[in-house]
Amino acid sequence: AQKITQTQPGMFVQEKEAVTLDCTYDTSDQSYGLFWYKQPSSGEMIFLIYQGSYDEQNATEGRYSLNFQKARKSANLVISASQLGDSAMYFCAMRGRRDYKLSFGAGTTVTVRA
Amino acid sequence: SQTIHQWPATLVQPVGSPLSLECTVEGTSNPNLYWYRQAAGRGLQLLFYSVGIGQISSEVPQNLSASRPQDRQFILSSKKLLLSDSGFYLCAWSVRSEAFFGQGTRLTVV
C-alpha cells in the first residue's frame, strides 16, 4: 500500500525567501513517480514538478526544485524566491508502476508575507 | 497538446436525486483516469481509478460508482445522492511523467 505524509499543515514565509515543503512516502514498488501540485483558493490543481524514482538528477522547474532522497523516501519541494502568488495549498503525490494509483498527502498551506 | 474537460463547474442537487459527472481527455491515448473528492480545506480522497476501458478500481466503498465506456471518458455516478456526497470533485489523467486535473465540480447536496 502507498502512503504519503506531509507533516506541515501550514507555513509562513517571507516574500523573496526560499521555503521547503516536506514529503515522505512509503511504497513497496521499485518503480514509481512523485508529483507536486499547487492548489490556490480557486481550487484548480496546478502541476508543478515530477520526479521518477530512477531519475538520477533532482527535478527542477523554474523556481521549483525537488530534493529527492530515495533511501530516506523523501521528496521535498523547494520554492525559491517566494512570491505573494505562491500562497496556496501544496500537495505531494505518488503514482506506483504496478497499479498506477495516484495517491496524495494531506497538503501544506503556504502563506507568503510581504 | 493534452486537455481535460470536466463539467459542470457547480451543481446543486437535492438529496435522493441521481448524479452523473463526466470527464473527457483529449490529445492522449490510453490514459490512467482518476476521480477524487475534496472536502473544504482538506486533502484529496481517491474515489476511483481506471487503467483501461471498463477497468475500474474502487478505493472507498460508498454511494458512488464510476464507469469508463470509452478510452478517454470517465463518468462518476450515483443513483441517490446523500448530504455527505457534497464536496469538490476532481477528475485527473496521467500518462508517464504527466498527471493533470480538470477544473473540478463543486457539488452541493441539499
- Mean pLDDT (whole number) for A84-101: 94
Task: State whether the Cα torsion B10-B12-B15-B18 is positive or negative.
Answer: negative
State the smallest CA–CA distance between residue A80 and chain B in angstroms.
Answer: 23
Per the CB < 8 Å rule, is B44 touching A95?
no
Q: What is the chain B residue with the closest CA to A47?
A: B100
Q: Model confidence over A7-46: pLDDT tens digits?
A: 999 999 999 999 999 999 999 889 999 999 999 999 999 9
Structure confidence by residue, pLDDT tens digits, B86-103: 999 999 999 888 899 999
Measured between alpha carbons, how far is B49 from B61 in angstroms, rounded to an integer? 13
> B43 and A50: CB-CB below 8 Å?
no
What is the DSSP track for chain B?
--EEEEE-SEEEE-TT--EEEEEEEES-SS-EEEEEEE-TTS-EEEEEEEEETTEEEESS-SS-EEEEEETTEEEEEESS--GGG-EEEEEEEEETTEEEE---EEEEE-
| Subunit contact A99:B57, Cβ cutoff 8 A | yes
Rounded Cα gap, residues A66 and A80, in angstroms: 11
C-alpha cell read off for A103? 495517491
Q: How far is B25 from chain A (nearest CA, A)?
A: 16
Interface contacts (A, B; CB < 8 Å): 55
CA B45 to the chain's CA centroid: 11
Quick one: pLDDT band at residue B61, thresholds 50, 70, 90? low
Is there a contact between A33 and B104 if contact means CB atoms under 8 Å apart? no
Amino acid at A39: Q
Chain A nearest CA to B17, separation (Å): 25
What are the tens digits of pLDDT across the range B20-42?
Answer: 999 999 988 899 999 999 998 88
Cβ-Cβ contacts under 8 Å, B42 against chain A: 106-107
Q: B8 and chain A: CB distance < 8 Å anywhere?
A: no
Cα separation, A8 vs A20, in Å, equals 10
Cis before B14? omega within 30: no
Query: How confident is the model over A58-84, as a mean pLDDT?
Result: 97
Q: Does A101 touch chain B (CB under 8 A)?
A: yes
pLDDT exceeds 70 at position B46: yes
Position A111 pLDDT exceeds 80 = yes
**Torsion on CA atoms A78, A79, A80, A83, rounded to nearest 10:** -160
Segment B52-60 mean pLDDT = 91
The pLDDT assigned to B62 comes to: 78
CB < 8 Å from B in window 3-42 of A = 33, 35, 37
- A12, containing H or E segment: strand A10-14
Indicate if the pLDDT at residue A1 is higher than 90. no
Contact A95, B94 (CB under 8 A): yes
